[in-house]
Chains A and B, each alone.
Chain A
């Protein structure tokens, strides 16, 4: 059995439903840490950051599914929808922490920030684009929408780009980490546009 076969066998052993069951665990763990002093002296920002970063990582993982199968033969297709739904769930929690804890009740400042702050506006746009995708991530919608479902779900590309840009935009000074995330997003989008050169590049 090749390495790829072994990886695929391991993946098949994990039912997608299991992802939904373990998905809330990181959030619950961070919330517990936040309540007990484990997130440091500013737990609100720490929680906001953990959730935002995990959401972005999941969105990027979702983007990686197709290239992984096409170029490396690793098949995560059965898990892709769960990855996407969990990513949406973490973006939502990230937004709720901002609304409910960070800005807690300052509706005037919330409204002003969404309009006036480019990084908030970008994040918000990313979130809004994800709403129809989350809403149609069920078997019924897939059947009903047919080919239109695949078209609709291409919205994930701009959504992830907006999320990545949101991160690049919010840091102070020239920092490496958000640029690495952005590079990963652009790389995963690029291998879709130009599959052949990317394939040889990956093999090399």
Chain B
């Protein structure tokens, strides 16, 4: 269990906050139940323990999180993933883990889940398009799975790949990006306890439009780094190519840490608007590392983040 609970909080600090959150989530969930007729949270489904890494900000509704998505494999419109991801088959599912690991192979999804502790992680999500959400993910630390595969000493980076299946993923029939979608992290970023693989959302199995059955969540980076529907994880000794960087290196760097001081060449990253606030929602200032600076700034000490954007 690499890096778990490296902070000073203990369970007695965590529990009251978590109980409070669960209650409020229930209220938010009920609201979405009334508004959208969609099943609420935490009533059934996944059993996950609360986490000290959760934010106490109010989560977006289930409806918001599952109807406003960027998942270009299903089209570039925000509602395309919700409209078209039904076609995707997620059972059976396995993840090929290869490269510089001691135990390479195809890991079946159920088998991956057997060995991990699911936690609820309520994280802020900041999209590169300057909108944001708060999402109650359920998942486990990526470090747990990498530990199981046995990372070899020379490995420095982790590469990820999304499923390539144009018959079921209609967006892949057009060259919006070079498919399959690829992402990558430096090994220390991948091993950080904030970095999780999510398998659930609002207490239930993760919906297809959010990256079922297994997706990455790296909350201090722009959303596109958090690759969805993962089928391959490779450990390597050099920086892997990543999709948006391949499409436009000047606009999308390998790191893509949330940074209000480094603008996207075509728009400002200084502010963001939380989705779900209606027609008069105001922008708020974007925070360095999406507010996770205390946990992750150390990973980048000595680096010029205007260069390594």
**Which residues of chain A have a CB within 8 Å of any CB of chain B?**
34-35, 37, 40-45, 47, 101-106, 109, 112-113, 116-119, 169-176
* A42 adjacent to B131 (CB under 8 Å): yes
Residue B44 is within 8 A (CB to CB) of chain A in the complex? no
Q: Assess the A44–B273 pair: CB atoms within 8 A.
A: yes
A-B Cβ contacts below 8 A, count = 70
Residue B4 at the chain A interface, CB threshold 8 Å: no
CB distance from A113 to the nearest CB of B (A): 6
Distance (Å) between the CB of B181 and the closest chain A CB? 11
Query: Does B303 make an interface contact (CB < 8 A)?
Result: no
Nearest B residue to A169 by beta-carbon distance? B266
Looking at the complex, which one of B64, B247, B266, B270 makes contact with A41 (CB distance below 8 Å)? B64
Closest chain B residue to A37 by CB distance? B35
Q: Min CB distance, A49 to chain B, in Å? A: 10
The reply to whether the CB of B280 lies closer than 8 angstroms to some CB of chain A is: yes
Residues of B within 8 A of A101 (CB): 279-280
Q: Is B84 part of the contact surface with A, judged by Cβ < 8 Å?
A: no
From B48-56, B171-179, B204-212, the one touching the partner chain is: B171-179
The answer to whether B24 has its CB under 8 Å from any CB of chain A is no
For the complex, count residues of B whose C-beta is within 8 A of A: 33
Across the interface, do A42 and B275 meet the contact criterion of CB distance under 8 Å?
yes
In the bound complex, what is the Cα–Cα distance between A79 and B72 (angstroms)? Answer: 40
Complex Cα gap A41–B32 (Å): 12
Main SS of the interface on chain A?
helix
What 3 pairs across the A-B complex have the smallest Cβ distances? A41-B64, A173-B176, A41-B68
Question: Which of the listed residues A34, A40, A169, A172 has the most CB atoms from chain B within 10 Å of its own CB?
Answer: A172
B302 within 8 A of A: no
In angstroms, Cα B276 to Cα A175, docked, is 26
Judge whether B6 is part of the interface by a CB distance below 8 angstroms: no
CB-CB nearest in chain A for B133: A41
- B9 at the A interface (CB under 8 A): no
Nearest CB in chain B to that of A119: its residue? B266
Chain A neighbourhood of B279, CB < 8 A: 34-35, 43-44, 47, 101
Contacts of A112 in B (CB 8 A): 268
Taking a contact as CB atoms under 8 Å apart, the answer to whether B67 and A40 are in contact is yes
In angstroms, how far is the closest chain B Cβ from the Cβ of A38?
11
